[in-house]
Structure 1
Amino acid sequence: MNDKVIGGFDQARIQAKFCIHHWRDFFELTKPKVVALILLTAVVGMLVASEQLPSVSVLLLSLIGIGLLSGSAAAINHVVDAKVDAIMARTHCRPIVRGRVSHMQALAFAALIGVIGFVVLYAGINPLTAYLTLASLVGYAVVYTLFLKRATPQNIVIGGLAGAMPPLLGWTSVTNNIAPGALLLVLIIFTWTPPHFWALAIHRKNDYAKANIPMLPVTHGIEFTKTMVLLYTLLLTAVCILPWLAGTFSYFYLAVVTGLNIRFIQYAYKLKYHATDDTAFAMFKFSIWHLLWVFVAMLVDHFIF
C-alpha cells in the first residue's frame, strides 16, 4: 500500500473522529441530563392527567417536541452565557467556551431543533402545548438568562417558572387544557428551584462574584442565603402535600414525599447551623434526587394505589 493511500486512510480517520467529537459537542449544548429530568416530569404530567394511558404516538411526539425545544433553550443559554461560563470552574470546558462550536453554529442548531420541536407539538399534539413549550423556551433562554440572571438576586425565584412548566406541558399534551392538578405539579418544581440553585450558588459563590452575577450569596451574603434555603425547604414540604390534599394521590405518595422532605430539611438545617465545606454541594446533589423521586412516587401512586 503506497504512502498516498495510507495518508488517505489517516485523513479519513481524523475526519471521522472530528465528526464524532463535533456531534457530541452539539449534544452537550442541549444539556441532556437537565432535559432528561424535564422529560420525566413531563411524562408524569401526561400519565397523571388521565386514567387511560396515552397512545404511543402522543407519548413519543410529546417527548420529542418538548425535548427538542428544551434542548434549543439550553443551546441558547450556552451562547448567551459563554463569557460567564469561561470564568466559572464548573462550566469553563463547555463547547462554545473551548471554541469547538461557534456562536453562529450553536444558534443555528438551536433554531433548527427549536423549529422542529414546535412543529412536532403544533401539528402532532396540539397548539396549546406547542405555544406553552415555546413560552418556556423564551422564559428560560431570553427572560431569565439574558435579563433576570444579571439583573436581580431573585433571578432564580422569578425565572423558576419557566423551568417548572414541564408537568403542565405533559398534562396539556394529553388533555389540551390547563387544570388545577397540573398547576400543583408546577408549583412543586417552582418552590423546589430556589433551595436547589441557592445551595449550588453558596458552593460556587466566588465564581458567581467573579462573573458579576448577582446571585443571592453574592448580594446578601451566605448566612442570609442559608436562611432562605431553610425557609424555602420548609415551604416545599407544605407544597408537596397539596396534591394529596387535593385527592390526586394517596397516602403512599404522602409517606414518600414526607420522608424525602424530612431529609431535605435535614440538609438545609445542617447547611444553616452545622455546615462543612461540602454541605452545600451535597445538598445540591440531593435536591436533584429529591425531585426525581417525588415524581417517581407520583407515577407509582397513580398506577398502583
Structure 2
Amino acid sequence: MSNPNRLNLVLVLIVSALAVFLLWLGSAAESWLAIAMVGVAFSFVMLTNYALLHEATHNRLHDNSKANYALGVLSGVWFPVPFTMIHVTHQGHHLRNRTDHEMFDLYYPTDNRLVRYVQWYGILCGFFWPFVPLGGLIAAISPALLRTRPFRAARSSNYLLGDVAAANVWRIRGEVALTVAMFTTLFWTFELKWLNTLVLYGCFSVNWSTRQYVGHAFTRRDIVEGAWNLRHNRLMSWILLHGEYDLNHHRRPDVSWLHLPKLTRPDDERPSYVRQYWRQWLGPRPATEPPPEAVGPLPLAAHSLPLADGPSAEPPGGR
C-alpha cells in the first residue's frame, strides 16, 4: 500500500501554518475566554500534527527518507520534541506494548495503589505531555542524567529514555537547537506572549495526554494484539488521521494511516471511542494476566527501523 506523499506534505504545511496563526491569534487575544477558545482549536490542530509526527517515526510520512526526516523534524518542532528521540522511543513502544513497562491501567497486589492511581489520573488530566519536551531537553543538554538512579529505577522512563543511544545525542541537540531558534523567531516576529502561549500548549497537553492510553486501556496483554480498533465520528477520525485504528496499526506498522481502516477484520471488536475514553476514568484495575514475553521481529521489525537520513548523528569530526 502506497504512502500518500503529497497529501502528507500538504497536511504538514497546513498544520504548520495553522500553528503559527493560532499562536499569533492566542497572543493577540485580550480576554481569557478568547485565549481559551484559541487554545482548544490549537489543541486539535496539534492532534493532527502528532499523528503526522507518528507517521514519520515509522518512515511513512514520505517515501523519500530525507523528506520524511525533514517533515518529521518540522512536526516535532510544534509538539515540541526532538524527532530523533521520539523515533527511538516509539519503536520501543511497539516492542513493549502491554508489558509491565507500559502497564498503567492495571496494578499488581504488590504495587503501591496510591502511586498507580496518581500515575493513571495524571495521564488522563494532561500531565504526561510536559515530560516529553522535558525528556528531549535532558537528552540534549545532559544525557548522563538518563543513566542516574532515579531514571534507571523508574519502570517506564528507564526503558523509554534508556533507548536513546549516545550516537543519537548530537542529532537530538541539533533538533532542539532548531526548535529553540524557531520559537525565538516566532516570539520576536509576532510578539508572542509567554503566558498566552503556555495556555495554548496547556490545552494541547490535556487534549493529547488524556487520549494517549485510550487505544490500549484494558486490552489483552499481548505485544501486538493489545490494542483496540475504536469507533469514532468521521470528523475526529480525520483529525486523528485514523488513529483510532490502533490495533490495525500494531498489526501492520508498515501501512500508512490512510489505509488503516481497510485492515479491520470482520471479527475485530469495535468499542465506542467515547465510551472507552470515559471507561478509563473509573480507574486502574487489578492485573489478571501475566505480562507478555519480549517480542521477536514484528511484521515490520519496527525495532530495526533506521533513522531517516538527516544530519550526522556523530559530533563534528566524528569519533
What TM-score comes out, normalization by structure 2 length?
A: 0.29
What TM-score comes out, normalization by structure 1 length?
A: 0.30
1 or 2, which has the higher helix percentage? Answer: 1
**Greater Cα radius of gyration, structure 1 or 2:** 1
